[in-house]
Structure 1
Amino acid sequence: MPAHRLLPSAEAEAFVDRARRFAQEELRTRAAEEQPGGLRAVLGRLGELGLLGMPYPRQVGGAGLPYEVYLQALEEISGAWAGVGLGISVHTASCQPLATWGTPAQIERWLGEMLSGAGLGGYCLSEVHAGSDPAAIRSRAHPVEDGYEITGSKAWVTHGGEAGFYTVFARTSDDRTRGISCFLVPADSPGIGVHPPDRKMGMAGPTTATVDFDSVWIGSDRLVGGEGRGLQIALEALDSGRLGIAAVAVGLAQSALDHSVSYAKDRRTFGKPIIEHQGLGFLLADMAAAVAGARGAMLDAARRRDRGLPFAQQAAIAKLLATDAAMRVTTDAVQVHGALGYTAEFPVERQMREAKALQILEGTNQIQRMVIARHLSRSA
């Protein structure tokens, strides 16, 4: 168990160790290939190991882990391949509305299959004109006989075209904040169209695409939480999702730091390892401090969540600190490796490209500052 791990039980240690071994033995090599659809390729194994339902109760098919344990397992996976960590985080967020707001009948019918690895989840909230402002979405869900017809277009959908189900937020009235509802939509529903995958600078593993809904009919039993509760449901899922992104960022940064320390011990200049040169040693020290600080903020927020305490502000802080740290640490990792860091010979160049996405996902870091300031204003 790495020295930075402080886990609450032997069971938690065993689970995180399972995630670490899976990451090292099955993911690290695949990450170097950076092929689109990477998560789908390992979906079966993720389900077998319980890595798609970590924070959900055992009675519904999850692993029953505290959120702080789930995040540390996610960190291990992300250190080997951040794209898979991101995919798991999005899948977990896609399941949360049903797990939290679904009726007992809905949960019994669908959640176990969703957590088993039978199909990935896609989280359909953002639209081209409504990314950071989810209350501005225009997609509509019109009541029809025995259900709804959903029409609209969702942008930047992780697992778009590969998901087994989509958690979709659409308008059921014109009220800005109370007119949005949440629906669980099977991915094979007639009327769903998927654009070609977005061409991204990194994070090639989980595909991202625009998904169109053209009068997609779903039964009324697939409305989650009742009409008009969708924005609240979406924002709650985002709070937890931000912790998932923080864990991906911490895992990515820790891996870049580990690669850098290893390289700096082996590479010699002027008769000694470059880690012994003060300029380089101080750079590594700052990288280590950034990773530790980000991990501490993430675990603090997770422990609040596990105790049932408010954690939205802490989640925003964790996401902000962790993703900024990942960007800084991976950039410095390329510098530590010198010219080799700018080549594909070492993973740090890929990790730097992956880190950039994390400052944008689940609300840009500028939005996180707005969230934090809003909470400070309310507490004053």
Structure 2
Amino acid sequence: MEDDLLVDMAVSKIRLVYITKNFPPLPRVSGTLQYAYRLCTELSKKTDLTVIALGNLEEKDRKKKTGIKTIRVGQPFVLNAALEARKLNPDVVVFGSGLSSSLALLPALLSMRLALLGIPFVLHQLTEFNSEIPPALLGAGTAFVDKVICTNRHLTKYFFQACGKKAEMLLPGFKIPALPKAKKSSIIKIGFFGHYHFVKGPDRLVGAFKELNLENAGLVFDGIDYEGGKMQKMLLKEAKKRKDIMVYIDSPKYWQLLIECDFVALPFRASGSVLGVSMAAVEAMAYGKPVVGGNVSVLSSIIENGKNGFLVETDKELGDAIKKLATDAKLREKMGRNARKTAEQKFDINFSSKEFLEICKRLLR
């Protein structure tokens, strides 16, 4: 019987269900959402994939197509999603978790396991936690899953303490692009891309830049604050006062803005609720841009200090790193080449999706 199962797997695609609360098409864009979509896009080519997501789409979004078979369910989401998944008779079910508290995992995993008895069940922890319970207590939750896939080193270490070898690290991926020809500019452009939130530190970047008073350098911001908060208003106010600060709100020209930057600065204060490795950093390095980042787990898993960027803690360290890259073309070029290699070697979505599928297949052997 076991040999017959292996033969069937080799001939046909495995039936995979990926459960994640938020999934395109949605007006809100985040690194976590983008990675989940890119991963599922690749998995849909290799498996019989169904995504189960929360059914909260607005009418205008319902008409958009993702090309991925998607089922929408209502609240309570995790239980309804698991019950819907069971109806599909899947080989493996994956829960793509963006929960911000590891304590919240316990009831979620228990309710899903009860609905999925007898079906291999994988936790894919996408984001860092804002709060963590002791590993011994977390182990009570991971007892309900067959595998835990973590998106950075810190999460892997945390889950390993809870459930041992069940925990495995698989870094987020991105489709590595061909490098466009660089356009020479007299202005050194320093980019910030992502949500205009306190935790991401765009205000730190503005403060450090103003303190340096660099000649022939400017800041380029592209992002959004969905709550219309103080940070976005502050950035727009600075842009009105200074010609060397440009602020865009969720620009459709995002990729072009990134390509035109000389390097990227992401002075994060913390990692909570952020994808295990910042997708803004992954995308920047994929385009050969060095990254200056806060010394937090979602950036320390990609930035090698002094090689493909700089990890900083204080505002002075942030300013020093910006000055080094802004005033040294050879250093920018060297770090840019290293950044590209990092993306190619560790963050290729083609590789990571194959590894993800292999992890799922091993549960069936």
TM-score, length of structure 1 as denominator length: 0.25
